[in-house]
Structure 1
């Protein structure tokens, strides 16, 4: 089953719930990385502070599903969230409550908990699918969306894209 595409109101509910969680900075950053960059759980779990260079996230070879690297532009709110979470600490960005690095499964479970507490149906892939759909809806080339998501095959990217009301209206009229 595909992760559901979320609305702005649902993301607002998720951010509001993240602010009430025991570790709000961790949950907020997880959401930002999922929604704004479309990162996979394994990429969020493995994220190192050194991968952020100026306003770019450089995921090195071997740290993504297809084992290749990619670079993504990063907004100031993500950079601020990383700095706020980590302070002067270096190394892994996402640590669990015991101070150990999250696993990909740990990220998925944390996101599932957050969605459930917020009363929003979704998963760690909902942000990724919503990002892909919104980019296409804005007229961004699917080839660029493929690069953002880190897909080898365009057909995989097409699976992530849903159909919005705006897309239907533009197609029909």
Structure 2
């Protein structure tokens, strides 16, 4: 499931670059940003078969802000961005087609066992590598330095004690 979310993030970032003519970044694992402001959020949900542990269905939701919403409260306006604020605004249908086309290409990499290629495209857009982050878990928060991404798309962070931790889920906060 992690790779599908990664494929969606790469697809959106590449579609923005192609249709809006600027290069956004990705915040692990599922946000697309420009100048630290969130342009897109991605949510992936799966149904897992209990006995076999296999995925029986998967849904990917992608929300992209093409234009700012005047009804956004001030606290949302501070963190959310829209494509129109950073470049040309593509037509909605053309942008959706670009996202779907790029998602199909990214998903084909997964189907053909070429996850490493997809991870390279993803890694090249990550905004957190080499930067301090706050890791947010159900157990609490801690400060760490983001050191990279492993072969499964998990984030690698070094905590204050020097231990490298592998994050397969959760959230990070980063100051950009």
Higher helix share: 1
Tell me if TM exceeds 0.5.
no
Q: Give the TM bin, normalised by the shorter chain.
A: 0.3 to 0.5
Higher relative contact order (CA 8 A, sep 6+): 1
Higher strand share: 2
Larger radius of gyration: 2
